[in-house]
Chain A
């Protein structure tokens, strides 16, 4: 019989190994899934994992997709460490896009240097505003932030749809639900000519550094970790739970709002009814896969960005539905959660009591 046996101390090695194990198992399960769908396995593997990475353009697209994931996941990691379960980053991203985009459209005839900074500010504030609602409802009225932040995501999506069908619609756009295209001063500078890789990628890396310093070098970061692991100890130490909830949510709202603005001012270049392929939700997986650590989040963000690119490439070359990406992402999180058991437990073959040392069960 296989059974689990508690380790005396959590295994550091397994903390690093679990995501790798999960990735490998997901890969294996994915190939089985392809076989079941009747897709040639070798071709699917190539389309999903090799093709997107075999050109400069593909690599730059990896950065385009990874940037918003990393930005949001760094912020989510900080909140999740403090047990603040904001799962509405997608809504905060949309609000960032709406507010920043509205500024761009307001300055439609003004091509000045200050337009983009103003847009960014508006995007950040928009995201923060949307995150402030669950923060207020949680701290003031004890309402569960998981449910409120998620409900706000649906509301944000409807709000965006309302605006691009109405007030923000392109007046010369033949009634299509799209805004005007942003002019050059309202779009993000590109890092490499001929690609879509914008300076948002650099902002994402900057945010990683900020997140790392915050978590490992500041009292605030320490308070967040203590309150997550032992709320009572945190209370004794004088760390106010409410302040940490506010900080976690506002920080994430700012990051997600900024990411949303970067999407509309970067790869998209206008407001559309749908501005994100679920970055806010995928970032949750990125945060867990990255061990809620800013540096880990970078690697995890690149992996999940590849799952988007692979999904698109498989759609084109093999006619596979895009939904495959979602299945992959869900499976990966399952396998990761399962592999995480190895951090605190070891797998033992044999009957209880015959397992030798550490058999304290």
Chain B
């Protein structure tokens, strides 16, 4: 392989690994928001998933069990959120913030003993012949299963929301819970399920960070990715396809800092680290300034509590 194509493959691979956790976290939150719930606790759920996944994988030696534990941890935190906001009708904004603060603290507490432990990472796919093709092999056939899973999940969610009856019900509940309730659809149950799905996805996203991207446990290792995922949902105007594009765009921006020095750009590392956050703000502004488009695409009842007895 020539050095150029070698470099190209390396950059492409780092973009994919930087984008994958964003894809998981954002696609989960997209479904949550489609059902009319705004869960600002993505960051907390990610960290809970990251620490649980890493811990279980380290103790059991099984990546599969680790991922399951991470998903479970994300769902557990999402359940707290759902109980407070859907069961007790607490403010979604305040509860989401509480979830993030709690998740950061809890994961730091649980992860005390895990700091500095090395982990070999989730095993990558190795298909005879296919994985060995130059350039295309490493690009398409040498990832771990979570990378392929993220694409499958986006396609599945897109299909679910667009073409299935259940997806239509989720959207209806997000747009007009009163009407959906009047038609006999279980608004709260659907919102519970959507919120749990979001928790599972955030947990998966955290698993990817601690078990494949890093792979190790560092306190607060998500570094704002949960919030960037929230911004990505707005950026995508609640459409899964655009979300995938957005996640890869941000993945590209994130890895600039890794390759800037290799290319010979000599900028302080802090400035490069600012890029994803600056980009998030810029992207939010560009999308949000078009109020009409936001109003057309945003779930109409997002963030509002629903009182089924009314």
Contact = CB atoms under 8 A, between A and B. Distances in A.
Interface of A: 4, 6, 85, 87, 137, 140-144, 146-148, 150-152, 154-155, 158-159, 161-162, 165-166, 281, 284-285, 288, 321, 323-331, 333-334, 337-338, 340-341, 344, 361
B108 A326 contact: yes
Contact of B273 (A141, A158, A284, A288): A158
B280 A288 contact: no
A334 B291 contact: no
B288 A321 contact: no
Interface in B105-157: 105-106, 108-109, 112
Interface residues of B, number: 47
Contacts of A330: 44, 98-99, 101-106
A324 B40 CA distance: 22
Contact of A324 (B97, B105, B270, B271): B105
Given A143-B284, A159-B270, A165-B270, A323 B108 contact: yes
A159 B84 CA distance: 37
Nearest to A352: B309
Interface of B: 40, 44, 80, 84, 88-91, 93-95, 97-99, 101-106, 108-109, 112, 219, 223-224, 227-228, 230-231, 234, 268, 270-271, 273-274, 277-278, 280-281, 284-285, 288-289, 291, 294, 309
Contacts of B291: 142
Contacts of A137: 281, 284-285
Contact of B109 (A152, A284, A327): A327
B288 A327 contact: no
B85 to A, nearest CB: 9
Given A146-B40, A341-B90, A151 B277 contact: yes
B277 A162 contact: no
Contacts, number: 138
Contacts of A344: 89
Contacts of B289: 140-143
B270 A161 contact: yes
Is chain B's interface secondary structure helix, strand, loop, or mixed overall?
helix
A143 B98 contact: no
B252 to A, nearest CB: 18
Is chain A's interface secondary structure helix, strand, loop, or mixed overall?
helix
Given A334-B102, A337-B84, 15 more contacts: A141-B285, A141-B289, A143-B284, A147-B280, A151-B281, A152-B277, A154-B224, A154-B274, A162-B270, A162-B271, A323-B109, A324-B109, A330-B103, A333-B97, A334-B95
22 contacts: A85-B93, A87-B97, A137-B285, A150-B224, A154-B223, A159-B270, A165-B270, A284-B97, A285-B98, A323-B105, A323-B106, A326-B105, A330-B99, A330-B103, A333-B101, A337-B88, A337-B94, A337-B95, A337-B98, A338-B84, A341-B90, A344-B89
